[in-house]
């Protein structure tokens, strides 16, 4: 099985994605994992005063139009046969919380009511749920934000985990003292959004543009994953430069 994981795109604050779609086309993935925070859903932000109270159908319609144009249509063109696993992140959860508080939006603002999931081959996952392509690996959005979040992920999941949420690149490996051939690796895989977001106001951060691809043997549970780092809009992957 070939898998590509795309973390934290945060439309409309995404980086140019054309090189990524070129690689997706060449890699021919069986599965593409959208690791949450695919759209920023700024109108539902917890961090903008009174923004949620002003959430309107027009603003969510615009958000879904952007999501379709920037991510879903190009992804379907690049990998028409791939299954898409959409793991809700905290930004999708903001949207769900606003809907729960505003009865006028129920039935109108949900992802399922604005995106043709069947057409895009999308399977949705609840916030904080993970997808397991094999017994030795989990994909999830991510739950920790401290400086040692990869270590926390290993200790919490007791498995190898690939995740987003923190926008940086970090790994931690733990080997079982009982079965020394058994190891767990947690890795954050960067983001596909700007590394100087407006809310940080030019302060230093650990944000890195990147994504991950993996080969998995479903029968044995063996896997190899590869981190891609995007520098000045370009990256090397599988021996080819994309820009």
Q: Choose from 53-62, 66-75, 175-184 the range with maximum mean pLDDT.
A: 66-75
pLDDT value for 49: 47
Q: What is the residue-averaged pLDDT of the chain?
A: 93
pTM of the predicted model, to two decimals? 0.94
In the chain, the domains with their CATH numbers are 2-242 (3.60.21)
pLDDT value for 45: 77
pLDDT value for 100: 87
Q: Which of 72, 27, 77, 88 is nearest to 214 (CA)?
A: 27
pLDDT higher than threshold 80 for residue 54: no
pLDDT higher than threshold 50 for residue 52: no
Give burial (CB, 10 Å; 0-12/13-18/19+) of 29.
Answer: buried
Q: pLDDT for 193-205, tens place per residue?
A: 999 988 888 889 9
Q: pLDDT for 109-151, tens place per residue?
A: 999 999 999 999 999 999 999 999 999 999 999 999 999 999 9
pLDDT-based confidence at residue 58 (cuts at 50, 70, 90):
low
pLDDT higher than threshold 60 for residue 66: yes
pLDDT value for 47: 63
Q: What is the mean pLDDT of residues 164-173?
A: 98
Q: How far apart (Å, rounded) are the C-alpha atoms in residues 141 and 236?
A: 24
């Amino acid at each position: 099985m070939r898998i590509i994981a795309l973390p934290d795109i945060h439309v409309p604050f995404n980086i140019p994605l054309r090189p990524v779609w070129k690689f997706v086309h060449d890699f021919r993935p069986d599965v593409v994992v959208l690791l949450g925070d695919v759209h920023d859903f700024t109108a539902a932000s917890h961090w903008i005063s009174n923004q949620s109270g002003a959430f309107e159908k027009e603003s969510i319609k615009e958000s879904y139009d952007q999501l379709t144009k920037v991510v879903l249509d190009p992804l379907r063109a690049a990998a028409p046969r791939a299954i898409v696993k959409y793991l809700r992140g905290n930004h999708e959860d903001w949207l769900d919380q606003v809907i729960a508080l505003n009865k006028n939006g129920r039935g109108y603002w949900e992802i399922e009511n604005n995106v043709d999931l069947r057409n895009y081959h999308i399977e949705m996952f609840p916030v904080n749920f993970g997808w397991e392509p094999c017994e030795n690996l989990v994909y999830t959005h991510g739950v920790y934000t401290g400086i040692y979040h990869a270590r926390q992920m290993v200790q919490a999941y007791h498995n190898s985990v690939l995740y987003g949420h923190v926008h940086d690149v970090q790994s931690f490996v733990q080997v079982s003292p009982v079965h020394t051939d058994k190891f767990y690796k947690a890795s954050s895989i960067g983001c596909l959004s700007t590394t100087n977001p407006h809310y940080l106001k030019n302060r230093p951060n650990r944000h890195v543009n990147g994504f991950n691809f993996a080969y998995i043997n479903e029968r044995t549970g063996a896997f190899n994953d590869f981190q891609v780092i995007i520098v000045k809009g370009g990256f090397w992957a599988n021996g080819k430069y994309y820009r």
